[in-house]
Amino acid sequence: MNFDDYRALWPYLETGEIWLQHAGVTPLNTRVAAAASEPMAAFSRAPAATYPELWKAVTDDARRAVAGLLDCPATRLAFIRNTSTGLALVAEGLSWPAGSNVVTLSGEFPSNRLPWRYLERRGVEVRTVAANAAGHCPTDAIAAALDDQTRVLAVSWVQFLDGYRQDLAALADLCARRGTFLVVDAIQGLGALPLDLDGLDAVVCGGHKWLCGPEGAGFMYLSERLDAALEPVLVGWHTVGSWTFRAGAEVRAEAVLPPFKPGPERFEEGTPNAWGNLALAEAARMLTEIGPARIAERLFAWQDAFLEAAAAKGYTTSSSLEPGERSGILALTHPRHSAAQIVDALAAARITTVQRGAAVRLAPHFYNNESDAQRTVDALP
């Protein structure tokens, strides 16, 4: 399929609307929605015939689909509700010896601040790396905040305000030398950029932004090293590998807690989100089919064309355009028009953006084309 074929999967475009808010949420396309609604409809019509296959599709098949996008073993993944859930599971599931600290960055979304702040009740020191004049936290500043007591370095791969991308390979090297776990919030990058998991201990990601999946469905990747150090915070029937619930013996109590399932699947404590997992899996298949590198190339070409045209109207971006630092997000500013004025002008032309900080955040996706870029430029005040 070419990009025009994928574009046809988003019916809202037929109304003339342009959505440039994929860093907030991506509208479901018809392929992803059908991948969830059709099996669920089949189950409603013929439950006995369809449920065994539905369960497999929601669990094993869905896990393999996400693993295909990440290029990792399916046994390294757990399904979670959202990014916040995954980060909280890591924060609360680790042991924190006396004197431990966690390092995070200024400018983080609350999902990657609050779980670590909550650890202060357990005596954990939270260190926040200050941003430089450009609003970013370079690798050398992060390195200076780490010491031998740093248990976790928690970062967003891509910063939500202006799209600055952290050098995860360099951070992984820093953490390896310290014995620190590198925990990554990947929600603003995965689906728009290729991700190398080498050296990353946890990658958590909700499915509703660049992954083109639904809200309420996401995943957590764990390295073997972090997996071995992490205890489940939530324990339920799906956590254990030898569950004893059997017909005729439903209320028989186990004498001791059964062994947990091996690997990250033990963090799925109960019944899965069937609709969400089906949709997330199909979104992952679609993105794998296109290829993350091809998606990034498409996004950067869209951005370059847009910025060149917008410059004629006096617009600039505070987002880094350096190859290792840029992402799918652009922060747009103008010397005379406020961010609120620009957002309102675009909304009047049925183009959805959002203000973040003092800038307008534009977040196109791979199906947005050159016509969308030109219409957006034309609508700028």
Tokens of 289: 């089919």
Instruction: State the amino acid at position 265 in one-letter form.
Output: E
Given a contact cutoff of 8 angstroms between Cβ atoms, the answer to whether 39 and 50 are in contact is yes
The tens digit of pLDDT for each residue in 111-153 reads 999 999 999 999 999 999 999 999 999 999 999 999 999 999 9
Beta bridge partners of 155: 184
Fold of the 42-289 domain: Aspartate Aminotransferase; domain 2 (3.40.640)
Tokens of 13: 């475009």
Tokens of 209: 């932004």
The tens-digit pLDDT sequence of the chain (381 residues) is: 799 999 999 999 999 999 999 999 999 999 999 999 999 999 999 999 999 999 999 999 999 999 999 999 999 999 999 999 999 999 999 999 999 999 999 999 999 999 999 999 999 999 999 999 999 999 999 999 999 999 999 999 999 999 999 999 999 999 999 999 999 999 999 999 999 999 999 999 999 999 999 999 999 999 999 999 999 999 998 998 766 566 776 666 677 888 899 999 999 999 999 999 999 999 999 999 999 999 999 999 999 999 999 999 999 999 999 999 999 999 999 999 999 999 999 999 999 999 999 999 999 999 999 999 999 999 999
Domain with CATH 3.40.640.10 in the chain: 42-289
Domain with CATH 3.90.1150.10 in the chain: 3-20+291-379
**H or E segment at 65?**
helix 62-70
The tens digit of pLDDT for each residue in 351-361 reads 999 999 999 99
Q: What is the pLDDT of residue 242?
A: 66
Contacts of 344 (CB under 8 A, 6+ apart): none
End-to-end CA distance of the chain: 36
Distances (CA, A) of 310 to 138, 377, 380: 28, 6, 8
**The model scores a pTM over 0.85:** yes
Q: What is the pLDDT of residue 258?
A: 85
Architecture of domain 3-20+291-379: Alpha-Beta Complex (3.90)
